[in-house]
Amino acid sequence: METSSPDAREAARRLVAGFVRDTCREARSGPGQFSLDEAETDALYQRLCRTLDNPTFAAELIDRSLRYIAFYLADCGLHSEAMKASVAIHHYRSRLMRLAGRGSQAWATRVLGLSIGVTWDPIKVVAYSVIAYLAFVAILLGTSCVTSALTGEAAIICDRPGEHEPELAPPVYKHLYFAAVTLTTLGYGDVRPNLRHWWGIFPATVCALGALTGYVILAAIVAVIMNRSGIHPYARIGDWMRQYETDVLGGPIPLFRWDGD
C-alpha cells in the first residue's frame, strides 16, 4: 500500500524499526519480566497515523511488526516472551475492530488471543484441564443429587455385569469415571446419560458440553507440545521475516541474536 510520500514512508520505517529493535532487546534482557505495553503500542499507532496520514496502513504496520517480534523471539528460544507478543497481536486487532464498529469480531479475536496465551504455557494447560474436569464432576453430581431426590434415579445410569437392568443410582466414584471418559471423548458406553425420562435432556446436554470441552483440552495439549518442541505451523517463516524487513523496514534490523550474532 502506498503512502503519501517517500519521506513519510521513510519516517514510518524509522519509527517501526526503533519499536521492533527496542522491544526485542528488552525481551532478551529480562526474560520472564518482559511485557508489551499497550499504551506504547497505541502511541506508536498514533504517530504512524500522523506520519502516513493513512490509518489502515498504520494498523497494518503495527500488526506485521508484532508478528515479526513474535517470530523473532520464538526463534531465539524465548517462548514465554513470544507468547506475550502473540497475545498482544490479537488484543491490538480487537481494539482496532471495536473502533471500526466490528465488536463481535473483536470479541472473538480477543478470545483467540487468550487461547494462544494458554497454549504457550504447559502449566496453564494442566491447570485449566483440572479445573474443567472438577467443574464437570460438580455439575454432574449436582444434577444427580437433584434428580435422585425427585425421582430416585441419578443423572447417569450404569450397566451391571450379569444384570439386565442398569444401575439407576451409581456411587460418586462412577461419576468421576464417567466425567473422565466423557472429557477425553472415549465414551465406552458402560456409563451413559439417563435418558429414561423427559428430564434426560439435562444430563444429556451437560455431557455434550463436556465432550466439546474435552476437544478443546486435547487441542490445547497438542498445541503446547508443538510449541515446546519447536514445531511451528507456519510455512517459510524465515522468508516472511526477510520480506517484512525488505518491504516495511527497508532492510534487516541489527539485533542481538540469541547466539550472539
In the chain, the domains with their CATH numbers are 6-120+232-247 (no CATH), 125-225 (1.10.287.70)
Residue 260 has pLDDT above 50, yes or no: no
Which has the higher per-residue pLDDT, 104 or 225? 225
Q: What is the mean pLDDT of the chain?
A: 78
At 171-197, the pLDDT tens digits run: 999 999 999 999 998 888 899 999 999
- How many Cα neighbours within 13 Å face the side chain of 37? 9
The model's pTM is: 0.57
In this predicted structure, what is the pLDDT of residue 1?
Answer: 44
Q: What is the pLDDT of residues 70-112, one digit of tens each?
A: 888 877 777 777 777 777 776 666 666 555 555 555 555 555 5
DSSP letters, 11-56, are: HHHHHHHHHHHHHHHHHHHSTTT----HHHHHHHHHHHHHHHS-HH
More confident position, 226 or 3: 226
Instruction: Give pLDDT, residue 154.
Output: 94
CA distance 122 to 225: 8
- Look up residue 148 and give its three cell numbers: 435422585
The whole-number average pLDDT for the span 35-41 is: 77
Distance, CA of 234 to CA of 219 (rounded, Å): 17
pLDDT at 148 over 70: yes
Kindly state the percentage of the chain with pLDDT values over 90: 26
pLDDT computed for residue 261 by the predictor: 39
**pLDDT, greater one: 123 or 232:** 123
Q: What was the pLDDT predicted at 87?
A: 72
